[in-house]
Structure 1
Amino acid sequence: MTKTAALVLMGSLLSTAAWADPVTLRLGHAVFEQHPIHDTALRFQEAVERLSDGDIKIEIFPSRQLGDVKELMEGVQFGTVDMTVNSTSAYSTLEPSIDAFQLPGLIHDYESFAAMAKTPEARAIMDRLEKHMMVALGVYDGGQRHFLTVGAPVESLADMHHKKTRVAPNRMFLDAWQAVGVNPTPMAYGEVYSALETGTLDAVEINLTSIESEKYYEIAKGVTLTGHYFWPSFLLVNQMKFNSLTPEQQEIMRQAAEEIVEPQVMAVKELDEQIKAHLAELDIPVVTPSDAFRAELQAAFAPVVQKYEAADPLIADFTAAAKKLAPAAQ
């Protein structure tokens, strides 16, 4: 090949990369549009379309239009859904190290969560999902979790004992709440309202954003701001779909995902304050645990954290990094 021909070929390849065909990706999630998961999707959509000058478009399908949590997980894994923003807890059955993101009493405030989401230790855990045909572009938050009761707010560990409490179906959550002394009851998210209403449940550990978006305050009247862990979500894309993009498009996707982490997380913190004000207007009692109550919870959770640290080196690395953040609320 002559030098001139080689230059022409190289120019052609560069032109092809620079002018890749526009692509549209379908992103589904399982919550209402008032939820922070939808906000994550919107922020990602805006960032991707801006950074790509419109060459990458994201179509968002909220409110279980493409399936519930489990169906979306499987859809992205097997390629019937391009992308999702989905709760991390759903994925610990595939990769147990994912439990690190929700170990109780480990991350205490939104600033620490936002910092932890960008650490190498968090990335090492997310990268394990590539074995399951998914690329985790980032981890975000749906709200710090608290304790909601049908009756009066709990104000001590003794108040929590034996309460029938909804937890997401996850082994680590069962371990954590059995250690506290409640009666943990795994239940699908969509069944919680009616279970509180009928008395099947006494309580639910939940984020303020879900109390608001699902209107749980209509039937459950006591909120205790335990802040025991967060409710993270992964932004996931099917691996084959991601690999079909040009390197430039892939980099735009990654850049957009990282760009929105801190704004998204801090927006949830602000939303929490708005919801507290709304609950006050509704005369829903919201209490802050005493130092003694917090110490009781921390002591109850500690053996569970140690158990999971011992189970996986990636979890141990994650918890070590989280403990160094020295959050203000600790």
Structure 2
Amino acid sequence: MKKLLMAAAVSMLALSTSVMSATIIRVGHGANENYHLHRALEQFKTDVETKSNGKFEVQIFPSSQMGPDREMIEGVQSGALQMAVSPSSFFSSWDPSFDVVELPFIYPSKEAGLRTVHSAEGDKMLGRLANMNLVGLGWLENGVRHVSNNSRPIADIDDLKGLKIRTMKVPAHVQTFNSLNASATPMNFGEVYSALQQGVVDGQENPIAHIFSQRFYEVQNYVSLTGHVITFYIPVMNYEFWQSLSADDQKLLKDAMKGAEDYQQQLVNAEESQQLEAFKEAGTKVNALTEAQRQHFIEATEPVRQAYREKLGADVYDAWMQAIKDSSNQS
């Protein structure tokens, strides 16, 4: 009996020591726990903790618990936070080149967008993060953005005229909606539901999964599948923290993030049609653009793209457009 008790005590001590010595990786992001991003990060957590045999402990903080995206990124830069997952557009505050990723109507499909960010040009973009004291671990989907509103279905640019549409605080997004005769109204994500409910804005634009998980469709009469912008998240890690890891541990983290990316795509592909059906069942009308209607939107937003070509430089802009063209030609 004494031997059993002693063995149990030794096991408990070993477990305690193991837990105490685990390296903590705190990850902040702005989405809620139902969103596919959070569930993909839970897969990342499981893989990292399991495959490292408890060497790492991943703690995930959703719903901007660690602050809004800019504050989270700054926290990672300073080392106060090990990791953040934020939209690529936020990194343009330090390097304007990141603006090219989220320009309107540049990707012919989400698949082409995903191939573009995972191309050599996408890797080159991630390499720019080193100048911000960050390391990019890959690309995760934020989603294809669509418009919802309470006034009418959006089938042509004239349908946006006079509507106050909440956008992200991203200049390219603001310029896009203003160029389409809407009144772009930048606003923090956490304020959107109440703003829609109270009529502060007429509508908003977000991926289907966000419209569903945040229940925006409950306070909107129309969802129009405009697909005007495709957005991505970039999981970033503090540079010094990354450099402190062994090559094997770095590979483990990158492989786990690739697994999270794959899992996220499984979730999106399985759930998006069901989410659209939920909108319809709630009484929200859903419409899609025809190719001719989409072309009208593309032509109307050309000045926005050209303005960013001048702002970012032809080298950055043209290289990204070439990567999109190459990715679009892949089967």
Q: TM-score range by the shorter chain?
A: 0.7 to 0.9
Paired residues for 1:7-26 under 5 Å: 22-26=22-26
2:319 to 309, 317, 320: 317
Secondary structure of the residue aligned to 1:106 is: coil
Contact 1:35 1:142 (C-alpha < 8 Å) held by counterparts: no
CA deviation after TM superposition for structure 1 residue 25, in Å: 0.7
Contact 1:196 1:219 (C-alpha < 8 Å) held by counterparts: yes
Where does residue 29 of structure 1 map in the other structure?
Answer: 29
CA deviation after TM superposition for structure 1 residue 50, in Å: 4.0
Where does residue 97 of structure 1 map in the other structure?
Answer: 97
Partner AA of 2:317 in structure 1: I
Once residues 82 and 222 of structure 2 are traced to their aligned partners in structure 1, the CA distance between those partners, rounded to angstroms, is 40
Where does residue 62 of structure 2 map in the other structure?
Answer: 62
CA deviation after TM superposition for structure 1 residue 179, in Å: 1.8
Once residues 302 and 266 of structure 1 are traced to their aligned partners in structure 2, the CA distance between those partners, rounded to angstroms, is 33
CA deviation after TM superposition for structure 1 residue 270, in Å: 2.8
Per the normalisation by structure 2, the TM-score is 0.87
CA 1:282–1:267 in structure 2 vs 1: closer, same or farther (change >3 Å)?
same
Paired residues for 1:191-270 under 5 Å: 191-270=191-270
Partner AA of 2:231 in structure 1: W
Once residues 146 and 140 of structure 2 are traced to their aligned partners in structure 1, the CA distance between those partners, rounded to angstroms, is 18
CA deviation after TM superposition for structure 1 residue 327, in Å: 7.4
Paired residues for 1:296-307 under 5 Å: 296-307=296-307
CA displacement 1:126-182 (0-9 Å, x = unmatched)? 211111111111111122100100222212111111211111112211222222221
Per the normalisation by structure 1, the TM-score is 0.87
Contact 2:35 2:209 (C-alpha < 8 Å) held by counterparts: yes
Quote the sequence identity (%).
28
Once residues 265 and 161 of structure 2 are traced to their aligned partners in structure 1, the CA distance between those partners, rounded to angstroms, is 32
Aligned residues: 308
Contact 2:152 2:159 (C-alpha < 8 Å) held by counterparts: no
Once residues 26 and 229 of structure 1 are traced to their aligned partners in structure 2, the CA distance between those partners, rounded to angstroms, is 30
- How large is the Cα RMSD of the aligned pairs? 1.9
Once residues 303 and 80 of structure 2 are traced to their aligned partners in structure 1, the CA distance between those partners, rounded to angstroms, is 40
Partner AA of 2:154 in structure 1: V
CA deviation after TM superposition for structure 1 residue 303, in Å: 2.6
Where does residue 52 of structure 1 map in the other structure?
Answer: 52
Where does residue 4 of structure 1 map in the other structure?
Answer: none
Once residues 223 and 160 of structure 1 are traced to their aligned partners in structure 2, the CA distance between those partners, rounded to angstroms, is 13
Contact 2:108 2:328 (C-alpha < 8 Å) held by counterparts: no
Once residues 107 and 263 of structure 2 are traced to their aligned partners in structure 1, the CA distance between those partners, rounded to angstroms, is 18
CA 1:25–1:208 in structure 2 vs 1: closer, same or farther (change >3 Å)?
same
Runs of 4+ in 1 over 6 A off after TM superposition: none
Once residues 90 and 228 of structure 2 are traced to their aligned partners in structure 1, the CA distance between those partners, rounded to angstroms, is 19
Where does residue 167 of structure 1 map in the other structure?
Answer: 167
CA 1:140–1:323 in structure 2 vs 1: closer, same or farther (change >3 Å)?
same
Paired residues for 1:132-211 under 5 Å: 132-211=132-211
Secondary structure of the residue aligned to 1:57 is: strand
Where does residue 326 of structure 1 map in the other structure?
Answer: 328
CA 1:105–1:135 in structure 2 vs 1: closer, same or farther (change >3 Å)?
same
Where does residue 80 of structure 2 map in the other structure?
Answer: 80
Once residues 172 and 299 of structure 2 are traced to their aligned partners in structure 1, the CA distance between those partners, rounded to angstroms, is 16
Paired residues for 1:108-119 under 5 Å: 108-119=108-119
Partner AA of 1:281 in structure 2: E
CA deviation after TM superposition for structure 1 residue 183, in Å: 0.9
Where does residue 277 of structure 2 map in the other structure?
Answer: 277
Once residues 266 and 304 of structure 1 are traced to their aligned partners in structure 2, the CA distance between those partners, rounded to angstroms, is 33
Once residues 184 and 66 of structure 1 are traced to their aligned partners in structure 2, the CA distance between those partners, rounded to angstroms, is 27
Contact 1:107 1:327 (C-alpha < 8 Å) held by counterparts: no
Consecutive unaligned residues of structure 1, counting only runs of 5 or more, are: 1-20
* Residues 1:125 and 2:125 aligned together: yes
Where does residue 287 of structure 2 map in the other structure?
Answer: 287
Q: State which drifts further: 209-218 or 41-50.
A: 41-50
Contact 1:309 1:315 (C-alpha < 8 Å) held by counterparts: yes
